[in-house]
Structure formats: C-alpha cells, structure tokens
Structure 1
C-alpha cells in the first residue's frame, strides 16, 4: 500500500484548545522525508502562524509594561462581572475573579487566571484547577465552550452554563505556560521547556493564590485537564504532593487529579492508533498491517528519548507522528476529535465567537487585561516544549496512588487523537500495588438520568471511565455527564 503524502499538523495532536486550529489551515505537508534539518528547524519551517489573534505567536511585551504595580511572586486580582450594569448579579454576589500572578523567578512574566467561586455559595466546595493542553493553548475555550460558568450565545451575550463545573466546585482556569492566553512575558527565555518548569510555575502560583484566598486552604483540591494536560496534570500533582511532603509553604489539600482524553504514556498510546482506527472502520485490515510496520521504529525512538533526552525526543515525535498521519490520510475528512463528524471548514469546529467576545472592549475592561494581546495557541510555546512531547508521565502516578491520591482517567469514545483505547491500555499496564485488582475489576455502568452514560472500572484510588457519546471534548459533548462524573468522583461515589 502506498501512503498518501498528506499529514496532520503537528501542533494539533493533543491540544484541548487545538480544535480552534484544525489541520488544513495550519500546515499540509508530506510525510517527513530525510532531511538535514534538525527537528526544531523542521518545526519552525512547517508550522505557520495559527493564532486567532495573529499579531503575535506568543505574548512577548517589548519594553516596560505594567497593568498594575507588580512584585515578584505576588498576585494582582480584581472581581469582575461580564453582566456590567444590565441588572444581572452584582460583582460581590458572583465571586468571579480575574488576575495576574508575577512569577518569582522573573521580573517580566505574568500568569493570567480566572477564578470562579462556587455558584451554590458552598464554602466547603472543593477547589479545582483546570489546565488546557497544547502545549501552549489558553484555558478560555474550556471556560466558554466546555465547563466554565458561561457559554457564548450567537449574539455574543453570555448565558449561564447549566452544567458548569462551578456548580460542584470553586474553579480556576489558568493561561499557562507563560505566553498563552492573556499571560505574557518580556523575555522569551522565561518560557519553560519541560514539565519541571511548567509545574514549578503553577506550584508557585498556587502557593500565592491560597495566601490571597486563605478561606479555601482547608478545602479539598483537585487538578484536572484534558489532552496535552495528560503531561501537565500528573506533573503538577507530583509537584504539589512533594511540596506537601517537604512541608514547604502552604500545605495544599490535594485529594486527586483527573485527565480527560490525555497524552500520558506515548509508548503505549501510539501502539493503539491503528487498532482504534480499524475497530471504527477508518482503515482496512490491510491498511492496519501496513501502518503497524511503523510501530517498531516509533518504539525505538521513544526508548532513545527516554534514555538520551534532548533532540532525540523531538526526533521521536516526528518518527511516531507518521502513524497518525497515514491513518488520517486514508480516512479522509474525518474530524479526528470526534470521528462521527466531518471537519467543517478549516477549523473542524467553529469557535470564532470566542475571538469576537475577547476583542470586545467591555470584556477586556472587565478583566483588567489592558492592551495585552490574547494568544489562544502559541507557536513559540509549542516549539519550546517539543522535547517534552514523547516523555512518559505515567511514571509519576504510582507513588501518588500508593499515597492515597485519587486518579480518574476518562475518555470520550469517539476521539481518535487521544483515544480511549490507548488510555485504557496504559492505565491497565501501570505498575502499582493494586494493578492486578484493577485489571480484574468488574466493568460497571456509569448512569446519568437512569441511562448508561459510560463504562467504569475502579479499584482503590484509581478509576477509568469510557464516556458514551463524546469525542475529545467530553464536557462540551456530554456536559451533564461530565458534571456528574466530577461531582461523584470528588465525593467518592463514582
């Protein structure tokens, strides 16, 4: 079989916000040929500008810039209301906050965040942080299209999301790493290159956040995210857990973490693409046999990445992406975030109202972001993290399980790009004291409104949930089920 010469844009493999920049709009290139270019040079050559706001590909502010008087390691925050003076809830009643955190390691870098207190005014509700994938994408898509308090109406007004996760928690949405969303820097060297840098920045932010909001210190704390957050989430959970063990700073009451349709263990997950594609009639049996010939080289490349690091990890990404590229070249105009659908236009999904909303002066004034450009997905941040992609972050999880930290891995059944099969395989293969019991656990129905909404396996602190009727963006596709999943899991009733 001869493989087609079209391939998927690298940037879009595992992003949560990625769907804003679907394949053909960004790059359409042949399968990676032999070249004298380094992987980083290839990426620079292949990836075009793909920001909703293409003025910059990263928020780098030249010269002095200040939204307020910043001190390193401190937060500047304001309460806000998107409802203005239109007769909606008051600012005080809402408990909605937007702010900047000045990174202590730099005089020039600020993390932007939203914080929404529990809509039910439950002072004991858990604190949840949501991390968008990428690497290098903003949290605002999740906020406005998935699990935040609001959804964007066609006339750009905001309506309450009946299934926002603020109904079950106090929830943080953070634009990270530096350079994404409304976060910014005046020095590109401040952009982290790996999960150590990312998790240290987030840990420092959480320390200051709880200092500013001491009434939430005692509340249970959960880390959640989607897609490339399959890297971010376990890395941050490990950082918080070790910080607590070391008794440094505020003890964060970490109870668990959840990853939705994530990329966590590439060595296992890349092996399952062809099987998922065949099971879902995306390719034939012969196609699968031909594509499987690419797996050994991918496995070798990942092992080299694990042992040598550096450029070998970038090379592993390019080697392994051929598996995905060839499946998608055969399957045609499939929406690889939801294989039930076709890509409609250049974006696969239409999230254009987000751009329009965040360009409104009233919104920017409400948030206090001044003239900072919004960068939805950053090429510079993406490139900075190239050597992080093929790393295995399952390795951080067993210690957390043994110490009683709850772990939920969930996946929509119709996502191809971070599919449920690959996620199930690494979860079942993970070595920990409950591995055999988890593998032997009975698969039970996850029920919403008296109907099956998913299939669940659990043992001890570990749960895996395959969500019915959902693609890559579970809270968008099945909002009621996603909210019930979160609430049940946090309360130990999943």
Structure 2
C-alpha cells in the first residue's frame, strides 16, 4: 500500500480525536458512527424517507407494447376548486414510463401536469434529491397540483407550480420511486450517468409532446438535486450546442436548499449551528477543527476519486453528526421543530396512496410497489457526494442561462449560509459586481418574505420562515418566486404590480 492509498485511512484516524463524546447526547444511538448505519441515518437526512427499492421485477405490461414512451392520461378525482378557467376534462394530467435508450433495461417513471394557466407557460422539470428519493415527495407535499388528505383523497393545491408552469416530476436515478431496471448495470454512480439518462428522457418527452418544445424550459429541484441540476443543465446545453437531438429551449435552472459545492458548504455547518444557538462556542471551535481535514479529503476526491471520495464522505459528515449529537432531538430540516418519530416528518399518506391497487392501475405501473427513497441508489452514489458541481455553472451563466439559488432560513442540512457562501465566491465575469450587490427585501403581497441578491443571470434568495422544503413551508412565496423568476422580475424594482400570485 503506497502513501497515496493510505491517505483516506490517515484522514479517518486523525478525525477521531476531534469528535465530541457521544456521552454528551442522551440518545447517541440515533446517530451511529458505523459506516453502514451512518449511511442509513443519512438517508433520513437528505432522503427524507428510507426504504428498500426493488430493482428487479416484472415489467408493466403496457411497457412491453411500446419500448419508447408509454403514457397514460390520468383521471383522478380531485376535491375542491381547480382555481382555473380550464376544466378538469381539458387539463392534461399524465403519467408514464420511458425506456431509456442507452441503458440495458431501465424504465424512468414521471408525472406530467399541464398548466392551469396557459399551455404557453414555461415547462419546468422538478428533481428531488436524496440521492434516491422520489419526486413524488415534492408533488404531494410541496408544489404539485394537489395534496393528499388524511382519508387519502386528493385536494387541489392553491399554490401548485402548475398554476404558473407545465411541470414534470421524474423518479430518478434508476431505482428511485417507480423507476426501475431488471439489470443492476443501470444503477448510476455519478452525475455523468444521471445527466445522460435525463437528457435521453427529455428527448423522448419532447418527441411525444412537440407542442411544448418552443416553451421556455427550466430545471428545478432541491437538496441533493444541487448535484443533479447543474449536471443536467450542462448536458442539455451541450446537447443543444452540438445539435445532438431536439433543441431544448433551456432558459434557467434553480436549486432549493441544495448541496452543490461541498467544500464550502461543509465549512458553514459549525458557523450556522452556532449562530442559531444549536451549539456553544467551545463546541463550535472544536467541530471547526474537523473542517480542514474534510476540505483536504474533498480536494483528494477531485473529479475521479473513489476511495478518497468515500473517505471524505465519512469525514465531512462527521461535522454534521457531531452537531446533531449536541443539538438533541431537532428536526434538521427545520430547526424550529422537533424530529417527530424516525423520519422527522410523516409522509406515510403518500406511500399508502401510491400503493393502492386502483392508483397503480391508473398510473400504469402494474403491481410494482412504490418506495419513497432507495438505500441502494443512495449507497451507489456515495462517491459522488463530495464532488463539486459548481465548476460547470459559470460557463452556463456566461451563456445567459439564469441561475436561482434559494434557501429556507431554518434548514440545517443544506443551510442558507453555506449556499450563500458558495454562490458569493463563484468566479464568473459578473463576480465583482455581484459580490458588491446588497441583499434587498423580497416582497410578497406587501410583506417582506426574504432577502434577495441578484445581478444579471445570478440570483440568491433567503426565504424567511421556511426550512429545507420551501414550497411546503411557504407555498405562496415559492409560487410567487417561480412566476417572477421565469418572467425575469425577481427584484422589487422590476416587480411593480406583480406581487400577487392568486
């Protein structure tokens, strides 16, 4: 074993003396340090709900009839007022599978909802993070057309993003949600595989829906999608420039409470926790000593590391788990709340609803069981975790593709401070002017709902009274944000007369 191969081991051993004692926390078993159980605990952190996703299984019958795109128009009963002049009969709600071209046997599942406003509204792609969590989490609990009541009926969401856009929710990477493959070789280990699969998906989608090809296209999502979104934006832009397929009218991408530049964001954990009163000064100073070793691990991970990337994953996440050991039973997605139960939130109605036989029949998924988050997908993506996805962003914004980073102020796991720091330090032609631009109030319906910093194609928004899932905690603000951003009028001076979204 040479010196370079010893580096991850030496890094790991050097960290142990810096960790707070587990005796300082009444329930240390909640955040175990063994690598396997640590990964399972982290599934709750960025993935929200753990579960076992079957990769092998029966192919839905309708998939056999068409190897390309199999789509069904949904006729689900939805309670309440649609909030639109369009009737439910005219409104297009779809679900389907796409058989991915450059895979062995992968089928990618999605929902597609046409706008309750106008068919000419932007087309938005939503990606939930994890890695390995279904985008149905956002669909039913954040910004989808409807929510699930306790009796498992669907109720129209007055602040669904389909009021301002045509929107697609995709279960990805393969093995997530209803998406699956009969061949384990279709599991993805990095953003190259993830972005290529989504590019193939989008090409097939636009082939089936050519009338939306002219619409402005935006890529959005949250959490670990801070990795996915820049990679997919770069892949679409590269495909457009290389004339690889149908030209997609990419105008921008938005990341909510995301993990994009780990080297900078992990350095903000102790500072954020201390500023919010989760830890004291002594703990802050001790935990901060872990960061230089974490930073070195990320540097060694680089663009192609495997062992070093896995080691840096464990080392850097010890910063986060050290804070949790001291902070107690907090909801690390929203530090104002306690973590109620094993999952911090109760999303069980979604699992119950999507695993009903009549719902599965309506979706065309046969008897395939829905699983919210896949530990298998999570584990195979571990070496991707510490990769820096900021590196490809400057080229995109230099070409005029807009970027919005937004973050709820009470999230710990992907906190606003770490996101603010990487955005503020990013080198691009407008960096100097952007860095000198002040944070200004973000006004919604006459009230300050956050703080906005924007210059040219780059915007950062800190959202008040929200945690990790901004559209769930502040639905009106999130919809207003989407409308204004896609119209190019996020700042107050460009927004006279546009503050109301209802």
User: Given the two structures, how large is their TM-score scaled by the length of structure 2?
Assistant: 0.88
CA contact (8 A) 2:24 2:326 kept: no
Residues 168-206 of structure 1: CA deviation (Å, up to 9, x unaligned): 000000000111111111111111110000000000000
Q: 5+ unaligned residues in a row in structure 2: which ranges?
A: 1-17, 491-502
Partner of 2:345: 349
Partner of 2:72: 78
Partner of 1:43: 36
Partner of 1:5: 22
Q: Distance in 2 between matches of 1:93 and 1:225?
A: 27
Q: 1:421 to 1:6 in 2, by over 3 A?
A: farther
The more displaced of 349-358 and 239-248 is: 349-358
Partner of 1:57: 52
Describe the SS at the equivalent of 2:176.
Answer: coil
The more displaced of 346-355 and 283-292 is: 346-355
CA contact (8 A) 1:179 1:375 kept: no
Report the CA distance between 1:65 and its aligned residue.
5.6
Alignment size in residue pairs = 466
CA contact (8 A) 1:168 1:487 kept: yes
119, 126, 144: which one aligns with 2:122? 126
Partner of 1:252: 248
Say whether residues 1:478 and 2:477 are aligned partners.
no
Residues 9-63 of structure 1: CA deviation (Å, up to 9, x unaligned): xxxxxxxxxxxxxxx99x735435xxxxxxxxx4389638989999x72232346
Q: Distance in 2 between matches of 1:131 and 1:320?
A: 25
Say whether residues 1:193 and 2:193 are aligned partners.
no
Report the CA distance between 1:450 and its aligned residue.
0.4
Partner of 2:97: 100
CA contact (8 A) 2:127 2:222 kept: yes
Q: Distance in 1 between matches of 2:155 and 2:191?
A: 35
Report the CA distance between 1:67 and its aligned residue.
3.4
Matches within 5 A, 1:224-373: 224-306=220-302, 309-373=305-369
CA contact (8 A) 2:78 2:153 kept: no
Partner of 2:450: 454
Q: Distance in 1 between matches of 2:271 and 2:36?
A: 28
Residues 330-356 of structure 1: CA deviation (Å, up to 9, x unaligned): 010111100111111222111111111
CA contact (8 A) 1:178 1:191 kept: yes
Q: 1:315 to 1:87 in 2, by over 3 A?
A: closer
Q: Distance in 1 between matches of 2:129 and 2:24?
A: 21
Q: Distance in 2 between matches of 1:256 and 1:228?
A: 18
Q: 1:470 to 1:320 in 2, by over 3 A?
A: same
Report the CA distance between 1:442 and its aligned residue.
2.4
CA contact (8 A) 1:117 1:166 kept: yes
Partner of 2:403: 407
Report the CA distance between 1:141 and its aligned residue.
1.0
Q: Distance in 2 between matches of 1:271 and 1:85?
A: 46
User: Given the two structures, how large is their TM-score scaled by the length of structure 1?
Assistant: 0.89
Report the CA distance between 1:230 and its aligned residue.
0.2
Report the CA distance between 1:155 and its aligned residue.
1.3
CA contact (8 A) 1:446 1:454 kept: yes
The more displaced of 357-366 and 97-106 is: 357-366
Q: 5+ unaligned residues in a row in structure 1: which ranges?
A: 9-23, 33-41
Q: 1:147 to 1:323 in 2, by over 3 A?
A: same
Report the CA distance between 1:90 and its aligned residue.
7.2
Q: Distance in 2 between matches of 1:275 and 1:262?
A: 18
Q: 1:87 to 1:173 in 2, by over 3 A?
A: closer
28, 31, 49: which one aligns with 2:30? 28
Q: Distance in 2 between matches of 1:7 and 1:425?
A: 30
The more displaced of 256-265 and 380-389 is: 380-389
Report the CA distance between 1:240 and its aligned residue.
0.3
CA contact (8 A) 2:104 2:183 kept: no
Q: 1:125 to 1:185 in 2, by over 3 A?
A: same
Partner of 1:36: none
Say whether residues 1:467 and 2:469 are aligned partners.
no
Q: Distance in 2 between matches of 1:477 and 1:111?
A: 29
Q: Distance in 2 between matches of 1:334 and 1:84?
A: 35
Describe the SS at the equivalent of 2:63.
Answer: coil
CA contact (8 A) 2:52 2:374 kept: yes
CA contact (8 A) 2:407 2:468 kept: yes
476, 482, 487: which one aligns with 2:483? 487
Report the CA distance between 1:156 and its aligned residue.
1.1
Report the CA distance between 1:101 and its aligned residue.
0.2
The more displaced of 467-476 and 101-110 is: 101-110
